[in-house]
Chain A
Amino acid sequence: MIRISGLSFRYRGGSEEALKEIDLTVRRGDFLGIIGSSGAGKTTLLHAINGIVPHHFRGEFYGSVEVDGSDTVENRPEDLARKVGSVRQDFESQMVSSVVEDEILFGLENFSVPRDDIEHRIADALDKTGIANLRERNIATLSGGQKQKVAIAAIIALMPEILILDEPTGELDPKSSRQIFRLLKELNEKHGITVVVVEQKIMLLCEFADSLAVMDRGRIILEGPVREVLKSSREMESAGVNCPRVVTLADRLREERLYDGPAPVSISEAEAMVRSITG
């Protein structure tokens, strides 16, 4: 679905490469989480997938990014947007309308979606994101979590095959954050949308993502199924990513040869791990 090979990118005027030799493949239906300290290149990587790099932000671009067979250098971001939907952290500044319905209509109109399809696309997007009751509401009166859902609905209405999100819970409280991830999981499982999400909250990724990529100073240093990646908690910590304590614990236990199971990513699994040792 997404194939990145040998990608390096330096912003115009930038002293260092923001991305270095990135190779990454995301399969159809994947739910990939990207994590790393700030400045690791996560946002730049997402921008390389939706074409903002190198179309909006110019610079030295090496390698290639293919999205469903389309090369991102040869296709404009607005053309790639038919396949890749992008949601940003700052939902306030991506809104263009005062009313929820108009917000969703904006993209549909821009992409000249046929008139007859528009109504059911709006209804469908609101339905999938669980905010059908907010349709007529003024956006300014919504909570942060609701606004982020509106932002996602506006993108879902464009029926992308891939959804990429840049810290969608960055400005949300823990409860709304979980709601957003539950929604992403649902879109991923029920509707087959490939999800790539940059997220700082490791617990959310452990719970909802299938695979994980850890970035550090422009490189992907670890990548694979969540549980596999979590086995390398020391590398993650050196990249500035704090693993859940229970994962670090599992790692240490493994080093001490007390435990050789998978890294626990839920309370019940942690419980099972502890019981397996204490007997």
Chain B
Amino acid sequence: MEQRAELRKQRVVSAGSGEGLSISDVILVGVLLAAGAVLKFFVGSLFSVGMKPNFIIAMYCLSILIIRPKFKEAAVIGLLAGAICQFFPGTPYLNFVSELVGAVVMAAFMRIPSGKGRFSLMPVISTFISTLASGFTFIAAMYLIFYAGANVKPVPLAIFLGIIFGTAAINSVIVQILYVPLKLALKKGQDQQ
């Protein structure tokens, strides 16, 4: 009987979880970026030039919202997103810089404490600003590369401004709407195991 009593003692795992991104986080980033790439391909073609969501940005914003990583990890997520962008024809390598900036800005928003439990507008605001940050970085880098040294008047910035703000607006709506169901699905996945 004494042994039985001994067994009733609750046992706890001593070691804490490792630092940095967990396996689940790493897979989540991979899955969301894959979805971003596929959506960019399929849904992107539904939209004509101009107002158009950028799903890669939307997806890394979502994963940062869910994972809440440190700056270093957010930077890596941005670089991974930049790598995925390389598979689309466009301007090579530039996205490494722009998505890095976008992801770090997004991670910075995660540092701001927000009211828990209540409906939060954090996804909208942070995605909007992060998309802007990414877009402006991209344009700045493009101007730098294409126009540096060329003594021609570049295409007015205003054209791109419209596109960037439009994208930011659509992205923030998409992220806000997807955030809650995805978070729930993730939790449900954990419960099902």
Assess A/B contact in the complex (Cβ within 8 A).
yes
Residues of A within 8 A of B9 (CB): 62
Interface status of B150 (Cβ within 8 A of chain A):
no
| Minimum CB distance partner of B9 in chain A | A62
Whether the Cβ atoms of A62 and B193 lie closer than 8 Å is no
Q: A132: shortest Cβ distance to chain B, in Å?
A: 30
With A5-B7, A6-B8, A63-B7 in contact, is A54–B193 under 8 Å at CB? no
Interface status of B15 (Cβ within 8 A of chain A):
yes
Interface status of B188 (Cβ within 8 A of chain A):
no
Whether the Cβ atoms of A62 and B10 lie closer than 8 Å is yes
With A43-B193, A47-B193 in contact, is A61–B8 under 8 Å at CB? no
- Compute how far the CA of A147 lies from the CA of B152 in the bound complex, rounded to whole angstroms: 59
Q: A164: shortest Cβ distance to chain B, in Å?
A: 15
Interface residues of A in 25-77 (CB under 8 A from B): 43, 47, 52, 54-55, 57-58, 60-64, 73, 76
Residues of A within 8 A of B8 (CB): 6, 62
Whether the Cβ atoms of B7 and A55 lie closer than 8 Å is no
Whether the Cβ atoms of B193 and A6 lie closer than 8 Å is no
Q: In which size bucket is the chain A interface?
A: 10 to 19
Q: In which size bucket is the chain B interface?
A: 10 to 19
Whether the Cβ atoms of B193 and A57 lie closer than 8 Å is yes
Residues of B within 8 A of A11 (CB): 191
| Minimum CB distance partner of B22 in chain A | A56
- Compute how far the CA of A194 lies from the CA of B160 in the bound complex, rounded to whole angstroms: 65
Residues of B within 8 A of A52 (CB): 193
Whether the Cβ atoms of B10 and A61 lie closer than 8 Å is yes
Interface residues of B in 1-32 (CB under 8 A from A): 4, 7-13, 15
- Compute how far the CA of A266 lies from the CA of B79 in the bound complex, rounded to whole angstroms: 59
Provide the B42-72 mask, 1 if CB < 8 A to any CB of A, else 0.
Answer: 0000000000000000000000000000000
In the complex, the 5 A-B pairs of residues with the closest C-beta atoms, listed nearest first: A6-B7, A61-B11, A73-B11, A63-B7, A54-B13
Interface residues of A in 88-122 (CB under 8 A from B): none
Whether the Cβ atoms of B13 and A62 lie closer than 8 Å is no
Provide the B166-193 mask, 1 if CB < 8 A to any CB of A, else 0.
Answer: 0000000000000000000000001101
Whether the Cβ atoms of A62 and B15 lie closer than 8 Å is no
Q: B35: shortest Cβ distance to chain A, in Å?
A: 15
Residues of B within 8 A of A62 (CB): 7-11
B12 touches which one: A61, A63, A76 (CB < 8 A)? A61
